[in-house]
Amino acid sequence: MAEDRRRKTDMTRNETGPVTLIVPSHPKYLYVVRSALYPILTDAGFGRKDARRIILAVDEACSNIIKHAYEGDPTKSITMTVAEDADRFIVRLRDYGKKADPAKIAPRDLANIRPGGLGTLFIGAAFDTVTYDTNQEQGTLLTLEKKKQRVNV
Amino acid sequence: MAEDRRRKTDMTRNETGPVTLIVPSHPKYLYVVRSALYPILTDAGFGRKDARRIILAVDEACSNIIKHAYEGDPTKSITMTVAEDADRFIVRLRDYGKKADPAKIAPRDLANIRPGGLGTLFIGAAFDTVTYDTNQEQGTLLTLEKKKQRVNV
Amino acid sequence: MKVEITTQKFGAGSILLIKGDVDMNSSPDVRSSLDEIFKQGGAKALLINLSGVRYMDSSGIATLVEAMQNCMKQGMKLRLVELSPPVRDVFELARLSSIFEIFANTGEAQAGL
Amino acid sequence: MKVEITTQKFGAGSILLIKGDVDMNSSPDVRSSLDEIFKQGGAKALLINLSGVRYMDSSGIATLVEAMQNCMKQGMKLRLVELSPPVRDVFELARLSSIFEIFANTGEAQAGL
Ligand SMILES: Nc1ncnc2c1ncn2[C@@H]1O[C@H](COP(=O)(O)OP(=O)(O)O)[C@@H](O)[C@H]1O
Ligand SMILES: Nc1ncnc2c1ncn2[C@@H]1O[C@H](COP(=O)(O)OP(=O)(O)O)[C@@H](O)[C@H]1O
């Protein structure tokens, strides 16, 4: 066992993305959203914990669309677009339901132990910028951005 | 330990699908395709082995699009649509590259041990019907269909 | 992702064993299993073993907070057992780690009940 | 999915340990690790341990078939070690199970070399 060499697949990072996933607004597709995100996140260089938190945040944002924008109607659709540029990792969620009222969207008071209100907290914990764009003809475009850690290799 | 009861999440099967995934034509996204497919297949009721073979077949069909339709250009895109009805599980792969020549697409002779030619064999092993539709304005629409095993519950 | 829920009895009450992702799709199933336990009543403690849970979102957390409130009403102890690192992380994000009684394994959670 | 490849030497030759999915994206890395081994030459055997491979597509199979052809040219023995059930299934689909020498573990694969 003289030689022990470890190689990592060297992938020329190309910025061709984005990846788009369209799922029905039924909670059973949250698992599909999470599963599709994981390899994109590891490929983007996120560690396990960051990847988990981003997945949790996107899951919560999709749950909110199902609950609030579509009021539980499972027959509508959610479009997720995942893109990256040199500095940021960007997830966009597009729905065609009741427009979000950004003024009403706020994390709960943590001192108040009650069920609910955690979703927006988790979204804010994972992403640096959270933007609800209601200037669409129909529905809302939610943009979630996370700055990339600059690692000089 | 008097009582040991096992419950399975009971999901009202709704046929709202389909799920659509659009990825760039770079082989690194094959992992995203596989990851997104897995939960859809288990939810559709496929066992582990069937799920694995379907994932392998779709991966091979995407690899063929990258190699043959796009001739290795990683900046194009592949659109996968997954749908089911009562009898069939259907995966559609749409590319906008060089049209496939269905006459030339054939599994290799198994007696001839050489690399290559296995992709179409794996596609045929997983799906009951494989249709290359080249009557599109651009590119090819590949439709892969698998009959569902009828289980009477 | 289907969640598998097993209910077992022990001297002081019930153990709920959850396997799978607890999200908006599966937490209603967790809630209905809990409801059955609360309907029976009369127990001293409820243990929820989360060793098989690799993912939990706010709907899962909400279900556990509700369970805590129901336990308090019935004078039952609620103990969470064997949180995986991802679930532990969600509890920390929600600042709920100190609100629940959390044990490393079922043996320790049963001690002194 | 990144693939991790480790090369080790033993008395009769080299052991290649592959971890991760071997698909069209990662098989070029497997191929270049193999090429380095063939470039060195002079060994009696090459063991490829696939215990860490949970997924392999036709590009991975093609890479192994090429390795077999290169081994034959160099008069080296090629032995595949510890195939996981999914990889075993792909070999069966490709009717290649009988063409490769497959061993349950490294110890057995090293015996008699
Ligand atoms: N996509 C959305 N559309 C409309 N309202 C939303 C949306 N997302 C969140 N909200 C509002 O923000 C509140 C807080 O959301 P959240 O923290 O996820 O907790 P919960 O959904 O459990 O109430 C919600 O109760 C709702 O009023
Ligand atoms: N999407 C496609 N477009 C054009 N030609 C294709 C396509 N898929 C397969 N083919 C043809 O079918 C042949 C067999 O394909 P396959 O069994 O996957 O093996 P390989 O791609 O390794 O040659 C290919 O060599 C190619 O000529």
A132 C-alpha to ligand 1 centroid (Å): 12
Q: For testing the chain D interface, which of B25, B31, B37 should be mutated: the one with the most D CBs within 10 Å?
A: B31
Q: What is the mean pLDDT of residues A37-60?
A: 96
Q: What is the pLDDT of residue A152?
A: 54
Q: What is the mean pLDDT of residues A85-97?
A: 95
Q: What is the pLDDT of residue A16?
A: 45
B25 lines ligand 2 (CB under 6 A): no
A119 C-alpha to ligand 1 centroid (Å): 7
With cut-offs at 50, 70 and 90, classify the pLDDT of residue A6.
Answer: very low
Touching chains, B (3+ CB pairs < 8 A) = A, C, D
Q: Do chains B and A touch (3 or more CB pairs under 8 A)?
A: yes
Taking 70 as the threshold, does the pLDDT of residue C41 lie above it? Answer: yes
SS3 for A52-97 is HHHHHHHHHHHHHHHHHHCCCCCCCEEEEEEEECCCEEEEEEECCC
* pLDDT mean across residues, chain A: 85
Q: Tell me the per-residue pLDDT of A114-133, one tens digit each, with 9 for 90 and over.
A: 555 799 999 999 999 999 99
With cut-offs at 50, 70 and 90, classify the pLDDT of residue D96.
Answer: confident
With cut-offs at 50, 70 and 90, classify the pLDDT of residue B115.
Answer: low
For domain C3-110, the CATH superfamily is STAS domain (3.30.750.24)
**% pLDDT > 90, chain D:** 88
From B114-123, B130-139, D57-66, the region with the lowest mean pLDDT: B114-123
With cut-offs at 50, 70 and 90, classify the pLDDT of residue A41.
Answer: very high
Taking 90 as the threshold, does the pLDDT of residue A8 lie above it? Answer: no
Q: What residue segments make up the domains of chain A, in order of their start?
A: 19-147
Query: Percent helix, strand and coil across chain A, each rounded to 5?
Result: 35, 25, 45
Taking 50 as the threshold, does the pLDDT of residue B1 lie above it? Answer: no
Asked if D49 is an interface residue toward chain A (Cβ–Cβ < 8 A), one would say no
Contact C56, C24 (CB under 8 A): no
Contact C43, C11 (CB under 8 A): no
Taking 70 as the threshold, does the pLDDT of residue B10 lie above it? Answer: no
Q: What is the pLDDT of residue A3?
A: 35
Taking 90 as the threshold, does the pLDDT of residue D72 lie above it? Answer: yes
- Nearest CA residue ID for atom 23, ligand 1: A117
D56 C-alpha to ligand 2 centroid (Å): 18
Question: Whole-angstrom Cα distance, residue B124 to residue B64?
Answer: 14
Contact B83, B40 (CB under 8 A): no
Taking 80 as the threshold, does the pLDDT of residue B112 lie above it? Answer: no
Taking 50 as the threshold, does the pLDDT of residue A9 lie above it? Answer: no
With cut-offs at 50, 70 and 90, classify the pLDDT of residue B16.
Answer: very low
Subunit contact D94:B118, Cβ cutoff 8 A = yes
Pick the CATH number of B19-147 from 3.40.50.720, 3.30.565.10, 3.60.140.10, 2.40.128.20: 3.30.565.10
Q: What is the pLDDT of residue A107?
A: 65
Q: What is the pLDDT of residue B111?
A: 58
Q: What is the pLDDT of residue A4?
A: 35
Q: Is A126 helix (H, G, I), strand (E, B) or coil?
A: helix
Q: What is the pLDDT of residue D18?
A: 98
Subunit contact D7:A5, Cβ cutoff 8 A = yes
Asked if C63 is an interface residue toward chain B (Cβ–Cβ < 8 A), one would say no
Subunit contact A43:B22, Cβ cutoff 8 A = no
Bridge-based pairing of strands B19-24 and B88-94 is unpaired
Contact D64, D100 (CB under 8 A): yes
With cut-offs at 50, 70 and 90, classify the pLDDT of residue B9.
Answer: very low
Taking 60 as the threshold, does the pLDDT of residue D23 lie above it? Answer: yes
* pLDDT mean across residues, chain B: 85
ipTM of the complex: 0.91
Q: Tell me the per-residue pLDDT of B39-79, one tens digit each, with 9 for 90 and over.
A: 999 999 999 999 999 999 999 999 999 999 999 999 999 99
Question: Whole-angstrom Cα distance, residue D68 to residue D78?
Answer: 6
Measured at the CA of A103, the angle between CA A97 and CA A105, to 5 degrees, comes to 65
Taking 80 as the threshold, does the pLDDT of residue D85 lie above it? Answer: yes
The whole-angstrom distance between residue C106's C-alpha and the CA centroid of its chain comes to 12
Measured at the CA of D14, the angle between CA D12 and CA D15, to 5 degrees, comes to 120
0.80 exceeded by pTM:
yes
Taking 70 as the threshold, does the pLDDT of residue B5 lie above it? Answer: no
More confident residue, C42 or D75: D75
More confident residue, C51 or B13: C51
- Nearest CA residue ID for atom 14, ligand 1: A117
With cut-offs at 50, 70 and 90, classify the pLDDT of residue A17.
Answer: low
CA distance B56 to chain D (A): 6
Taking 70 as the threshold, does the pLDDT of residue A101 lie above it? Answer: yes
**% pLDDT > 90, chain B:** 71
Please give the helix or strand (H or E) that residue D4 lies within, else none: strand D4-10
CA distance A120 to chain C (A): 10
D109 C-alpha to ligand 1 centroid (Å): 59
Query: B28: which chain D residues are within 8 Å (Cβ-Cβ)?
Result: 25
